[in-house]
């Protein structure tokens, strides 16, 4: 009976790790606002952030976020952001995850241009594409070639991953809350977050002064809606880089933690 319960919870855990990771990558929750007097963007081509994912005390996988060389999308120069996520060999035995997200935003970081997600989770396979039509202020969503009706979007709308990089321009020293329109291609929401504290924390990659804030989870279902009082906490460095160094959540299938274990190519 114990083995049955454990094998039942591990697939749920692995899937939730990826959902939790989407919070780290924007996942309909990361709002932000570009400050007019910001001296420059807090990231650069070549930046690479590596996170270790844990379910309670069990190592579950790794997530890597990278700023790739710039590309052109429909003739427009664009930032290219990539996230890869994978479960480790232990979790692979129960629920193998290999995901990749490619997101593109304009060089002024005012809007998204294109979003693609290749999702391989257990037996599930999805190939999602979200195309932005700014002349019509619409996005179109398709999964494995199957299209949905276009969705209207607001000016300054970002995809679930590019908004993570946009949010890093937000100045928590001047504001206690923030919001930004975000779309996954199927719906448009206004993501929100509130500042809770400023504190020093230690993670595998070092010790940092950080801002702690809580993103809203009203638009997240599954394990988040099944537990009363479920919440997500995010710590970002209290400097111009606003690098996320830790995420923590209590959900219906346990406690999840993502911690930064490596930084490459980041501005000093």
Residue 54, SS3 per DSSP: strand
Distance of CA 159 to the CA centre of its chain: 10
Residue 209, SS3 per DSSP: strand
Residue that the structure tokens 């679930």 belong to: 160
Specify the higher pLDDT residue, 34 or 143.
143
What are the residue ranges spanned by the domains of the chain?
Answer: 2-263
Both tokens of 77, joined, read: 């120069």
- The answer to which of 20-24, 149-153, 182-186, 215-219 has the lowest mean pLDDT is 20-24
Mean pLDDT of the chain: 82
Mean pLDDT of 33-51: 74
Specify the length of the chain in residues.
Answer: 268
The pLDDT score that the predictor gives to residue 249 is 81
Mean pLDDT of 70-91: 94
Q: What are the percentages of helix, strand and coil residues in the chain, rounded to 5?
A: 15, 50, 35
Residue 27, SS3 per DSSP: coil
Cβ atoms of 233 and 248 closer than 8 Å: yes
């Amino acid at each position: 009976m114990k083995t049955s319960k454990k094998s039942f919870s591990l697939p749920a855990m692995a899937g939730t790790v990826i959902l939790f990771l989407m919070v780290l990558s924007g996942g309909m929750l990361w709002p932000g606002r570009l400050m007019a007097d910001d001296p420059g963007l807090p990231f650069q081509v070549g930046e690479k952030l590596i996170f270790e994912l844990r379910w309670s005390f069990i190592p579950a996988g790794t997530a890597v976020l990278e700023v790739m060389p710039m590309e052109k999308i429909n003739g427009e120069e664009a930032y290219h952001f990539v996230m890869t996520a994978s479960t480790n060999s232990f979790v692979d035995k129960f629920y193998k995850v290999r995901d990749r997200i490619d997101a593109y935003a304009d060089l002024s970081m005012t809007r998204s241009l294109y979003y693609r997600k290749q999702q391989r989770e257990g037996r599930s396979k999805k190939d999602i594409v979200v195309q932005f039509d700014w002349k019509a202020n619409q996005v179109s969503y398709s999964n494995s070639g199957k299209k949905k009706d276009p969705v209207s979007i607001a000016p300054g709308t970002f995809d679930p991953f590019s908004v993570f990089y946009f949010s890093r321009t937000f100045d928590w020293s001047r504001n206690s809350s923030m919001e930004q329109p975000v779309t996954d291609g199927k719906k448009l929401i206004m993501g929100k977050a509130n500042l809770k504290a400023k504190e020093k924390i230690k993670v595998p990659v070092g010790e940092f002064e950080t801002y702690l804030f809580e993103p809203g989870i009203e638009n997240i279902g599954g394990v988040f809606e099944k537990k009363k009082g479920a919440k997500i906490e995010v710590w970002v460095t209290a400097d111009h880089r606003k690098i996320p160094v830790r995420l923590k959540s209590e959900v219906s299938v346990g406690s999840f933690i993502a911690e930064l274990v490596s930084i490459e190519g980041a501005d000093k």
